[in-house]
Structure 1
Amino acid sequence: MAVSGLTRRALLRGSAVAVAAVAVGGAGVSMAYAADDAPVSLPAATGPYAVGTRTIHLTDDHRSDPFAPEGTSPPRELMIQVWYAAGSTYGLRRAPYLSAGLVPVVEKRFTLPEGALARVRTESWLNAPVHHELRDAPVVFFGPGRQDPAATGTAFAQDLASHGYLVIGVNHTYDGPVEFPDGRVVPQNPGTGDVALLRKYSDVRAADLSFVLDVLAGERGATPLGRFTPPADLGRVGVFGHSLGGSAAAEVVRTDGRFAVGACLDGALQTDAVQTGLDRPFLLFTEPLELPTWSDFMAHHTAWGRRMILAGARHYSFTDLAPLGVSLGLAQVWSAEQFAKYFGAVDGVRSQAVTAAYVRAYFAHRLRGEASVSPSLDGVDADFPEVAVSWVSGG
Structure 2
Amino acid sequence: MVVGIDHVHESYGTTLPGDRLAGCAACEEQQADAWAFGAKAVKGRQADVSFVLDRLLGRHPVWKGARLIDRSRIGMAGHSLGGSSASWTLLKDSRVRAGVNMDGTFFVPIADKNLARPFMLMGAGEVHEPGGKDFTWGRDWARMTDWKRWITVEGGDHASFTDYPLLTKQSARELEITRAYVVAFMDRHLRGREQRLLDGPSATFPEARFWK
TM-score, normalization: structure 2? 0.89
The share of aligned pairs that are identical, in percent, is: 33
The 5 A counterparts of 1:72-91 are none
Q: Distance between the aligned counterparts of 2:49 and 2:60, measured in 1? A: 18
1:325 to 137, 160, 168: 168
Q: Distance between the aligned counterparts of 1:358 and 1:199, measured in 2? A: 27
Deviations 1:38-80 (A, max 9, x none): xxxxxxxxxxxxxxxxxxxxxxxxxxxxxxxxxxxxxxxxxxx
* Corresponding position: 1:212 with 2:52: yes
The aligned residue for residue 304 of structure 1 is 147
Deviations 1:316-346 (A, max 9, x none): 01101122211xxxxxxxxxxxxxxxxxxxx
Shift of 1:229: 4.6
Report the CA distance shift for 1:274/1:242 in structure 2 as closer, same or farther (over 3 A). Answer: farther
* Corresponding position: 1:380 with 2:181: no
The aligned residue for residue 19 of structure 2 is 183
Larger fraction in helix: 2
Structure 1: unaligned runs, 5 residues or longer:
1-165, 327-346
1:278 to 104, 115, 131: 115
Q: Distance between the aligned counterparts of 2:166 and 2:154, measured in 1? A: 17
The aligned residue for residue 182 of structure 2 is 359
Deviations 1:339-372 (A, max 9, x none): xxxxxxxx6301011101111011001111102x
Deviations 1:229-251 (A, max 9, x none): 56111000100100000011110
Larger fraction in strand: 1
1:195 to 28, 35, 40: 35
Deviations 1:102-133 (A, max 9, x none): xxxxxxxxxxxxxxxxxxxxxxxxxxxxxxxx
Q: Distance between the aligned counterparts of 1:323 and 1:277, measured in 2? A: 37
Shift of 1:274: 6.2
The 5 A counterparts of 1:224-235 are 224-225=62-63, 227-229=64-66, 231-235=68-72
Aligned partners of 1:277 and 1:297 also within 8 Å: no
Deviations 1:282-318 (A, max 9, x none): 0011001121110101122111110111001100011
Q: Distance between the aligned counterparts of 1:251 and 1:348, measured in 2? A: 32
Deviations 1:195-252 (A, max 9, x none): 222111110000110111111111xx41111x13561110001001000000111100
The aligned residue for residue 5 of structure 2 is 170
Moved over 2 A (4+): 191-194, 274-277
Question: What do you get for the CA RMSD once the two structures are aligned?
Answer: 1.6
Give the partner amino acid of 1:387. Answer: A
* Corresponding position: 1:248 with 2:85: yes
The aligned residue for residue 67 of structure 1 is none
2:60 to 211, 214, 222: 222
Q: Distance between the aligned counterparts of 1:194 and 1:169, measured in 2? A: 24
1:280 is paired with a residue of what secondary structure?
Answer: coil
Q: Distance between the aligned counterparts of 1:246 and 1:388, measured in 2? A: 19
Of the two structures, which has the highest relative contact order with CA contacts closer than 8 Å and spacing of 6 or more? 1
Aligned length: 201
Report the CA distance shift for 1:237/1:353 in structure 2 as closer, same or farther (over 3 A). Answer: same
Please identify the structure whose Cα radius of gyration is greater: 1
Shift of 1:275: 4.6
Q: Distance between the aligned counterparts of 1:311 and 1:182, measured in 2? A: 45
2:150 is paired with a residue of what secondary structure?
Answer: strand
Shift of 1:272: 3.1
The aligned residue for residue 172 of structure 2 is 349
Structure 2: unaligned runs, 5 residues or longer:
none
Aligned partners of 2:161 and 2:178 also within 8 Å: yes
Q: Distance between the aligned counterparts of 1:175 and 1:275, measured in 2? A: 30
